């Protein structure tokens, strides 16, 4: 809400006018200042003037001679602008004036004619950049007034963020009231009583829906002349960001800004039978609102109707048909109190967030309508020349009384500590115009404009707010001992290992799009496709929760590829969401943490030519082994097939016999869907089995004795996994094995069909002696015999 | 050549020798079978017994000195030869001929860890909670009335899942974990909760539909507003630097009463605001929402609001990271541009 300091001065005499100090206080008491606009009075000897006469310059055709009256004198001036005619009101600098940019205005000869003073453009006034012509003022600008006065300067405009619990503060009076309480000074309300005529009101009001409408005040204005508002009123509305329309409409807006009560003005001659009926809309009922949109109403909508039909959406927007127009003579001023949720849902249902609905949905004081209607009537009588009957209709469906709260002083201490002297509590609450009786507990009466205050703790908050949160001491309590859990420490280890391997941690939005589901070609019964839909998605890409982290990482690889960044290795740790309950006791979806990675281009150390080993399935398995060993996991890889992954280059990962995910290469067709070329190493694993605590590792004492080593090449069935051969051969002597590493795999011409060759280096070492030649020969022999169990034969024999 | 001259000769010849072979010849000449030393040892047998010990000692001494001279020279020659070879081995050490590059943890992660560890230092624990959450925990348990605008579909993303009465949604804040944590543990409670949060906000330069928060909660028998203020001041100094100060501005949140927003003095301009691009002249940076836990929240989780008090706060992780590292475009947190990720050191 925009608050003009000049306007505020109508109600309160503040101890300071310093914008910085006021900003500090407004911030402190909960009305955050979003911006401060300091508007200086930057002109002297610049007046509102009228152009009386325009004639050509005798010696020049690009400029004209203008006779300008300033109210005191008529001056002739040469002007080069053509965007105005005789009668225009302009900003005129008389000789001797100084402009904001320092330019001094005097008398000078222009092509043989004396020009005294200057008609100013927006840019010359320092108000803006427009220099295409002079600034033409509104037709009713009073001639002879200082330009500064016309634009109501100097002034300071504070743009305040009003929190949703303070509808009362969405008004000049509300802000004045809070500042008065903070500074402990008085404030005054504007006069409300209009001069009245003795006529009797003819308006009838019936509230058929007491749930939606608490109170409805209708006041009549007769013999009005609709015209533009005077300059001061329009200026104040503009300063508050409201567009002036006509005197009657402007007054309704002005009173809303001043008191916080939104009003509506009807053309009473267009209200059938001069009857107002507040009711829910009939199904399918139609209404053209002030914005010209024809709306079909639903039965939850609350309308203000006349005897025949709906003529406005309650508290939200009026109807076009009963709108005040230039020909309006009789006006019905509506000041009502509406049920906040009704207005909130209705205004959003129709996409109509108005200044009125924003106030009503937060809760306008139900006892404000009579005064607000009178205030509006008073201003309208003054501005339209109309009259208003002394009597008006005040239909009350629900009486709202001031609240009463018992506040124990110990409650203040319990929450605020010792900084607030208990003797100050009652005075602080009285400064807010609350009724306070008793000593302890205090019996506090809360005005109906503060619907946010219902409990003792709400009063404690008011005490803290007014006392000033800047006056509390700072103390630091400490907890009973914390720290990372084992799982959290292992989570960190996962990240440390992966970054050490050259992968960077990505963060993606937790959604999947249709594009992803198609690219991964999940079968219909696959958990990857069984996504949870967002009921109100922002767009198609954000319509389903992710069931896998890999698509997001591939999108990130694509983003980088599109920018010429080809060597990219990413990992991400985050939730996926499955269409099943988390566990038996839980009604929320299963949402486990996953770890995923994806790498394209090259990964690993780079030589002088800049190239690293190209990524492929072995990149993926290397990353996993680094992780598995680093976290002391007992793991195994087995060839597997998964949607979106290369069917021949993907492995399931088993930890302690449990499948925890898969790693490998992205299927080329899937990769192509993300504009990725080359082999993409990727994988996705459940985090919980990775970070679950494992037994502490135990030292393996290194033997002081020398090793024996031999290289053996076996011919094996082509489909036999190398790991199976290694495991089978070393089993008989596992306790002496130091290393068994496949260093060559060969499939070729000199092997029988369906066979391949695997060459393995074995290193053995005994813990307690040097292995003898005979022992070495036995070891070698045992390896060869054991190999036969998996169909392997020693090559070259 | 007598024994005295032998040492001088050894020095001279060893110094003149320029290679290992030459030095071998010198050694043979001076200490070999037909060397003066060998002669001297042969003479020893013919000497009278009383002269033998003195002469023998002299022969041994000379022998040792000659050997030492030769050994020194031999080592010197090895060094000289190595230096000659290493001269050819010289490289340009500024060449990046072998690069081992580590990746980086995401700045979001780093910020979460940094904040968490500050609170761990104060005896807090770190917990996480569900992102797809019950409406009850996100709103109801947090004293948010059924008709509160934050529950509207324009603000909150709802999921097509489970019983409609459960209002399964994507949590709009990390605060629901306050309620879950208090349901699981008895006071005292000192915990921070980092995690993803979701809002129905389209992506622009300062908004994401998915972002991160860190929630803090302290519940004990005697927690006051001063404890909240002191804790946040301690945090701000640890995180932004010892020179920062904080202020609390009164505010409103349904689940705290009193509520406040935390401002941290701008660490770029020192709070002066003069020509400051970071705080845009205000001298303050808005950093968190906070307040004293509302009694209704305690009641919702089964704590007795008459015996415990507490404070809670929530801060935006992206916001803290952006402020600290001069990041103005929030998209950097979702694009995963490797040129940006590599800067997350």
Report the percent of chain A where pLDDT is more than 70.
99
Give the model confidence (pLDDT) of A168-210 as tens digits.
999 999 999 999 999 999 999 999 989 888 888 889 999 999 9
Which residues lie below 8 Å from residue A552, measured CB to CB, with a gap of 6+?
A: A506, A508, A509, A512, A546, A572
Is A483–B218 a contact, with Cβ atoms under 8 angstroms apart?
A: no
Is A415–B258 a contact, with Cβ atoms under 8 angstroms apart?
A: yes
Distance from CA of A423 to the nearest CA of B (A): 19
Answer for the pair A336, A372: CB distance below 8 angstroms, yes or no.
no
**Inter-axis angle of helices A247-259 and A231-239, to 10 degrees?**
50
Mean pLDDT (whole number) for A134-140 = 83
Q: Is the peptide bond before B258 cis (omega within 30 degrees of 0)?
A: yes
3-state secondary structure A486-545: HHHHHHHHHHHHHHHCCCEECCCCCEECHHHHHHHCCCCCCCCCCCCEECCCCCHHHCEE
Q: What is the DSSP letter of A319?
A: B
Q: Kindly write down the DSSP assignment for every residue of B177-200, as one continuous string.
A: HHHHHHHHSPSPEEEEEEEEEE-S
Place of tokens 């929630």: B215
Handedness of CA A499, A504, A507, A511 (dihedral sign): negative
Is B252–A165 a contact, with Cβ atoms under 8 angstroms apart?
A: yes
Quick one: which of A253, A372, A357 has its CA closest to A301?
A: A357
Is B122–A475 a contact, with Cβ atoms under 8 angstroms apart?
A: no
Is B336–A507 a contact, with Cβ atoms under 8 angstroms apart?
A: yes
Parallel/antiparallel/unpaired status of strands A755-764 and A113-116? unpaired
Burial-class residue A778 by CB neighbours within 10 Å (0-12, 13-18, 19+).
Answer: middle
Answer for the pair B171, B314: CB distance below 8 angstroms, yes or no.
no
d(CA B344, CA B104): 6
What integer pLDDT is reported at residue A135 of this predicted model? Answer: 86
What integer pLDDT is reported at residue A262 of this predicted model? Answer: 97
What integer pLDDT is reported at residue A797 of this predicted model? Answer: 55
Q: Which positions 13-32 of B are in contact with A (Cβ < 8 Å)?
A: none
Place of tokens 């809360």: A446
Handedness of CA A652, A657, A659, A660 (dihedral sign): negative
Distance from CA of B166 to the nearest CA of A (A): 8
Q: How confident is the model at residue B277 (pLDDT cuts 50, 70, 90)?
A: confident
Distance from CA of B7 to the nearest CA of A (A): 47
- The answer, yes or no, to whether residue A777 has pLDDT greater than 80, is yes
Give the model confidence (pLDDT) of B173-209 as tens digits.
999 999 999 999 999 999 999 999 999 999 988 889 9
- The answer, yes or no, to whether residue A674 has pLDDT greater than 80, is yes
Q: Tell me the average pLDDT of chain B.
A: 91
Answer for the pair A662, A604: CB distance below 8 angstroms, yes or no.
no
d(CA A351, CA A8): 32
- The answer, yes or no, to whether residue B66 has pLDDT greater than 90, is no
Q: How confident is the model at residue B51 (pLDDT cuts 50, 70, 90)?
A: confident
Is B309–A414 a contact, with Cβ atoms under 8 angstroms apart?
A: yes
Mutate to test the interface with B, among A358, A536, A538, A583 (most CBs of B within 10 A): A536
Is B249–A27 a contact, with Cβ atoms under 8 angstroms apart?
A: yes
Is A507–B334 a contact, with Cβ atoms under 8 angstroms apart?
A: yes
Answer for the pair A353, A315: CB distance below 8 angstroms, yes or no.
no
What integer pLDDT is reported at residue A154 of this predicted model? Answer: 82
Q: Kindly write down the DSSP assignment for every residue of A704-760, as one continuous string.
A: SSPPEEEEEEEEEETTS-HHHHHHHHHGGGGGGEEEEEEEEEE--TTS-TTEEEEEE
Distance from CA of A185 to the nearest CA of B (A): 21
CB atoms closer than 10 angstroms to residue B142: 25
Is A607–B162 a contact, with Cβ atoms under 8 angstroms apart?
A: no
- Gyration radius of chain B's alpha carbons: 41
d(CA B184, CA A677): 50
Is A478–B104 a contact, with Cβ atoms under 8 angstroms apart?
A: no
Question: Can you read off the two tokens belonging to residue A280?
Answer: 């829910």
Burial-class residue B277 by CB neighbours within 10 Å (0-12, 13-18, 19+).
Answer: exposed
User: Shortest CB distance from A591 goes to which of B99, B109, B132?
Assistant: B132
What integer pLDDT is reported at residue B1 of this predicted model? Answer: 57
Mutate to test the interface with A, among B93, B105, B181, B309 (most CBs of A within 10 A): B105
Is B336–A508 a contact, with Cβ atoms under 8 angstroms apart?
A: yes
Place of tokens 């566990």: A583
What integer pLDDT is reported at residue A196 of this predicted model? Answer: 87
What integer pLDDT is reported at residue A214 of this predicted model? Answer: 95
d(CA B338, CA B344): 10
Mean pLDDT (whole number) for A232-236 = 85
Q: How confident is the model at residue A796 (pLDDT cuts 50, 70, 90)?
A: confident
Mean pLDDT (whole number) for B316-338 = 94
Mean pLDDT (whole number) for B126-141 = 95
User: Shortest CB distance from B223 goes to which of A477, A568, A571?
Assistant: A477
Distance from CA of B273 to the nearest CA of A (A): 12
Is B231–A477 a contact, with Cβ atoms under 8 angstroms apart?
A: yes
Give the model confidence (pLDDT) of A628-644 as tens digits.
999 999 999 999 999 99
Give the model confidence (pLDDT) of A519-553 as tens digits.
999 999 999 999 999 999 988 889 999 999 999 99
Q: Is B294 on the interface with A (CB under 8 A)?
A: yes
- The answer, yes or no, to whether residue A165 has pLDDT greater than 60, is yes
Mutate to test the interface with A, among B127, B156, B160 (most CBs of A within 10 A): B160
Question: Can you read off the two tokens belonging to residue A105?
Answer: 């205005």
Query: What are the φ/ψ torsions at residue A19 (nearest 5 degrees)?
Result: -60, -40
d(CA A384, CA A71): 27
- The answer, yes or no, to whether residue A357 has pLDDT greater than 90, is yes
Is A534–B152 a contact, with Cβ atoms under 8 angstroms apart?
A: no
Which whole-number Å values give the CA distances from A531 to A525, A635, B196, B200, in the listed order?
11, 30, 19, 19
Which whole-number Å values give the CA distances from B264 to A160, A197, B248, in the listed order?
20, 59, 9
Chain A hits for B216, CB-CB cut-off 8 Å, are none
Chain B hits for A587, CB-CB cut-off 8 Å, are 134, 162-163, 166, 168
Q: Which positions 164-183 of B are in contact with A (Cβ < 8 Å)?
A: 166, 168, 170
User: Shortest CB distance from A559 goes to which of B101, B201, B335?
Assistant: B335
Chain A hits for B336, CB-CB cut-off 8 Å, are 506-508, 556, 559-560, 570
Handedness of CA B54, B56, B57, B62 (dihedral sign): positive
What integer pLDDT is reported at residue B149 of this predicted model? Answer: 80
Question: Can you read off the two tokens belonging to residue B252?
Answer: 């409103």
Please name the residue of chain A whose CA is at the shortest distance from the CA of residue B311: A415
Distance of alpha carbon B177 from the chain centroid: 28
- The answer, yes or no, to whether residue A238 has pLDDT greater than 90, is no
Distance from CA of B262 to the nearest CA of A (A): 11
Place of tokens 């080069």: A80
User: Shortest CB distance from A417 goes to which of B126, B226, B252?
Assistant: B226
Mean pLDDT (whole number) for A354-375 = 95
Is B257–A495 a contact, with Cβ atoms under 8 angstroms apart?
A: no
- Gyration radius of chain A's alpha carbons: 41
Question: Can you read off the two tokens belonging to residue A215?
Answer: 């109170």
Is B336–A569 a contact, with Cβ atoms under 8 angstroms apart?
A: no
Half-sphere exposure at residue A179, Cβ-oriented, CA atoms within 13 angstroms = 27
Answer for the pair A320, A288: CB distance below 8 angstroms, yes or no.
yes
What integer pLDDT is reported at residue B42 of this predicted model? Answer: 84
Q: Is B249 on the interface with A (CB under 8 A)?
A: yes
Chain A hits for B333, CB-CB cut-off 8 Å, are 507
Chain B hits for A603, CB-CB cut-off 8 Å, are none
Q: Which positions 222-241 of B are in contact with A (Cβ < 8 Å)?
A: 223-227, 229-231, 233-234
Indicate the range of A252-261, A436-445, A724-733 predicted with least confidence.
A724-733
Instruction: Output the CA angle A114-A118-A122, nearest 5 degrees.
Output: 155
Mean pLDDT (whole number) for B303-331 = 94
Is B259–A581 a contact, with Cβ atoms under 8 angstroms apart?
A: no
Distance from CA of B223 to the nearest CA of A (A): 7
Strand partners, A437: A443
User: Shortest CB distance from A568 goes to which of B108, B294, B338?
Assistant: B338
Give the model confidence (pLDDT) of A290-308 as tens digits.
999 999 999 999 999 999 9
Quick one: which of A152, A375, A385, A389 has its CA closest to A252?
A: A375
d(CA A789, CA B42): 75
Q: How confident is the model at residue A273 (pLDDT cuts 50, 70, 90)?
A: very high
Half-sphere exposure at residue B313, Cβ-oriented, CA atoms within 13 angstroms = 27
**Inter-axis angle of helices B3-16 and B20-31, to 10 degrees?**
170
Quick one: which of B26, B39, B4, B6 has its CA closest to B70?
A: B26
* pTM reported for the whole predicted model: 0.87
Answer for the pair A297, A345: CB distance below 8 angstroms, yes or no.
no
Chain B hits for A340, CB-CB cut-off 8 Å, are 147
d(CA A356, CA A362): 10
d(CA A470, CA A336): 39
ipTM of the shown complex: 0.89
Is A479–B109 a contact, with Cβ atoms under 8 angstroms apart?
A: no
Instruction: Output the CA angle A559-A561-A566, nearest 5 degrees.
Output: 135
**SS3 state of residue B73:** helix
Q: How confident is the model at residue A38 (pLDDT cuts 50, 70, 90)?
A: confident
Instruction: Calculate the CA dihedral of residues B152, B158, B161, B163 and round it to 10 degrees.
Output: -20
Query: What are the φ/ψ torsions at residue A520 (nearest 5 degrees)?
Result: -90, -5
What integer pLDDT is reported at residue A128 of this predicted model? Answer: 66
What integer pLDDT is reported at residue A385 of this predicted model? Answer: 92
Distance from CA of B82 to the nearest CA of A (A): 27
Q: Tell me the average pLDDT of chain A.
A: 93
Burial-class residue B202 by CB neighbours within 10 Å (0-12, 13-18, 19+).
Answer: exposed
Handedness of CA A709, A712, A718, A720 (dihedral sign): negative
């Amino acid at each position: 809400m925009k608050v003009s300091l000049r306007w505020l001065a109508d109600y309160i005499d503040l101890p300071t006018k310093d914008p910085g100090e006021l900003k500090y206080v407004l911030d402190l008491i909960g009305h955050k200042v979003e911006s401060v606009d300091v508007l200086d009075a930057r002109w002297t000897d610049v007046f509102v003037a009228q152009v009386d006469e325009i004639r050509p310059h005798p010696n020049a055709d690009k400029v004209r001679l203008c006779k300008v009256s300033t109210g005191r004198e008529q001056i002739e001036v040469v002007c080069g602008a053509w965007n105005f005619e005789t009668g225009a009101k302009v900003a005129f600098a008389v000789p001797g004036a100084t402009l904001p940019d320092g330019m001094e205005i005097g008398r000078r000869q222009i092509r043989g004619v004396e020009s005294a003073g200057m008609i100013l453009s927006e840019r010359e006034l320092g108000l803006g950049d427009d220099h295409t012509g002079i600034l033409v003022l509104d037709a009713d600008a009073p001639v002879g007034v200082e330009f500064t006065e016309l634009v109501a300067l100097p002034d300071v405009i504070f743009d305040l963020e009003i929190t949703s619990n303070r509808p009362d503060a969405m008004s000049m009076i509300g802000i004045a009231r809070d500042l008065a309480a903070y500074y402990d000074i008085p404030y005054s309300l504007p006069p409300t009583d209009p001069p009245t005529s003795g006529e009797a009101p003819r308006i009838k009001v019936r509230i058929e829906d007491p749930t939606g409408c608490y109170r409805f005040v209708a006041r009549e204005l007769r013999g009005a002349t609709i015209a533009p508002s005077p300059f001061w009123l329009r200026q104040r509305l503009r300063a508050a960001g409201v567009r002036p329309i006509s005197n009657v409409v402007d007054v309704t807006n002005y009173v809303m800004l001043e008191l916080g009560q939104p009003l509506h003005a009807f053309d009473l001659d267009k209200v059938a039978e001069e009857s107002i009926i507040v009711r829910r809309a009939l199904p399918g009922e139609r209404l053209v609102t002030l914005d010209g949109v024809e709306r079909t109403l639903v039965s939850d909508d609350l309308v203000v109707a006349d005897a025949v039909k709906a003529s406005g959406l309650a508290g939200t927007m009026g109807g076009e048909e009963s709108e005040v127009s230039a020909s309006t003579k009789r006006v019905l001023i509506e000041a009502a109190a509406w049920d906040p949720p009704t207005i909130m849902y209705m205004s959003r249902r129709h996409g109509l967030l108005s200044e009125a609905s924003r106030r009503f949905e937060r809760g306008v004081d139900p006892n404000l309508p009579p005064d607000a209607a009178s205030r509006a009537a008073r201003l309208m009588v003054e501005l339209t020349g109309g009259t208003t009957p002394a009597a008006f209709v005040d239909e009350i469906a629900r009486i709202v009384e001031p609240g009463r709260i018992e506040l124990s002083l110990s409650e203040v201490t319990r929450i605020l500590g010792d900084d607030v002297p208990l003797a100050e509590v009652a005075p602080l609450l009285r400064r807010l115009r609350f009724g306070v009786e008793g000593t302890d507990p205090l019996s506090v009466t809360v005005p109906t404009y503060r619907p946010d205050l219902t409990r003792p703790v709400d009063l404690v908050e008011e005490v803290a707010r007014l006392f000033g949160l800047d006056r509390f001491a700072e103390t630091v309590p400490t907890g009973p001992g914390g720290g990372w859990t084992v799982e959290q420490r292992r989570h960190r280890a996962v990240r440390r290992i992966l970054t050490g391997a050259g992968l960077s941690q990505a963060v993606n939005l937790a959604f999947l799009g249709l594009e992803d589901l198609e690219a991964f070609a999940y079968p219909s019964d696959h958990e990857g496709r069984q996504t949870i839909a967002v009921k109100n998605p922002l767009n198609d890409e954000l319509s389903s929760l992710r069931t896998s982290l890999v698509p997001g990482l591939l999108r990130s690889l694509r983003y980088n590829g599109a920018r010429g960044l080809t060597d990219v290795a990413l990992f991400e740790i985050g939730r996926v969401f499955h269409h099943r309950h988390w566990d038996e006791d839980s009604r929320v979806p299963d949402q486990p943490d996953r770890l995923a990675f994806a790498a394209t281009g090259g990964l690993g150390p780079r030589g002088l030519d800049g190239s690293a080993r190209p990524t492929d399935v072995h990149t993926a398995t290397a990353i996993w082994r680094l992780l598995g060993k680093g976290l002391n996991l007992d793991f195994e890889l087995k060839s597997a097939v998964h949607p979106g992954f290369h069917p021949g280059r993907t492995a399931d990962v088993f930890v302690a016999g449990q499948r925890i995910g898969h790693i490998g290469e992205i299927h080329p067709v899937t990769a192509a869907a993300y504009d990725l070329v080359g082999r993409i190493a990727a994988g996705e694993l459940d985090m919980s089995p990775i970070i679950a605590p494992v037994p502490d590792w135990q030292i393996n004492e290194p033997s002081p004795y020398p090793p024996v080593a031999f290289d053996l090449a076996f011919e094996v069935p082509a489909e036999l996994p190398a790991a199976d051969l290694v495991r089978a051969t070393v089993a008989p002597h596992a306790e002496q094995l130091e290393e068994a590493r496949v260093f060559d795999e060969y499939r070729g011409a000199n092997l029988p069909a369906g066979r391949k060759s695997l060459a393995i280096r074995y290193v053995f070492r005994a813990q307690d002696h040097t292995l003898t030649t005979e022992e070495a020969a036995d070891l070698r022999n045992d390896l060869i015999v054991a190999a036969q169990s998996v169909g392997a034969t020693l090559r070259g024999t | 050549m007598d024994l005295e001259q032998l040492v001088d000769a050894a020095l001279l010849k060893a110094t003149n020798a320029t290679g290992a072979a030459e030095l071998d010849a010198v050694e043979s000449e001076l200490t070999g079978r037909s060397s003066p030393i060998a002669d001297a040892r042969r003479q020893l047998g013919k000497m009278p017994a009383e002269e033998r010990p003195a002469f023998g000692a002299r022969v041994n001494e000379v022998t040792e000195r000659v050997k030492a001279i030769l050994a020194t020279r031999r080592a010197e020659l090895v060094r000289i030869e190595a230096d000659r070879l290493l001269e050819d081995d010289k490289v340009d050490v500024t060449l990046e001929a072998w690069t081992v590059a580590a990746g980086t943890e995401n700045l979001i992660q780093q910020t979460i860890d940094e904040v968490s560890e500050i609170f761990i230092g104060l005896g807090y624990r770190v917990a996480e909670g569900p992102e797809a959450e019950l409406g009850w925990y996100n709103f109801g348990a947090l004293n948010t009335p059924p008709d509160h605008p934050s529950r509207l579909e324009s603000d909150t993303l709802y999921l097509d899942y489970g019983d409609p009465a459960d209002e399964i949604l994507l949590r709009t804040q990390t605060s629901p974990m306050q309620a879950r944590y208090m349901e699981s543990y008895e006071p005292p409670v000192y915990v921070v909760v980092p995690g993803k949060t979701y809002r129905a906000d389209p992506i622009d330069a300062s908004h994401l539909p998915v972002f991160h928060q860190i929630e803090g909660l302290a519940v004990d028998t005697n927690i006051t507003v001063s404890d909240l203020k002191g804790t946040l001041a301690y945090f701000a100094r640890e995180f932004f630097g010892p020179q920062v100060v904080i202020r609390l501005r009164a505010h409103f949140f349904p689940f705290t009463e009193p509520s406040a927003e935390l401002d941290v003095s701008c660490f770029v301009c020192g709070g002066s605001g003069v020509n400051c691009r970071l705080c845009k002249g205000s001298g303050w940076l808005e950093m968190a929402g906070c307040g004293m836990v509302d009694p209704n929240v305690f009641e919702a989780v089964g704590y007795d609001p008459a015996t415990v008090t507490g404070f809670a706060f929530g801060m935006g992780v992206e916001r803290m990271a952006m402020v600290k590292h001069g990041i103005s475009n929030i998209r950097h947190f979702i694009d995963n541009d490797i040129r940006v990720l590599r800067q997350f050191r």
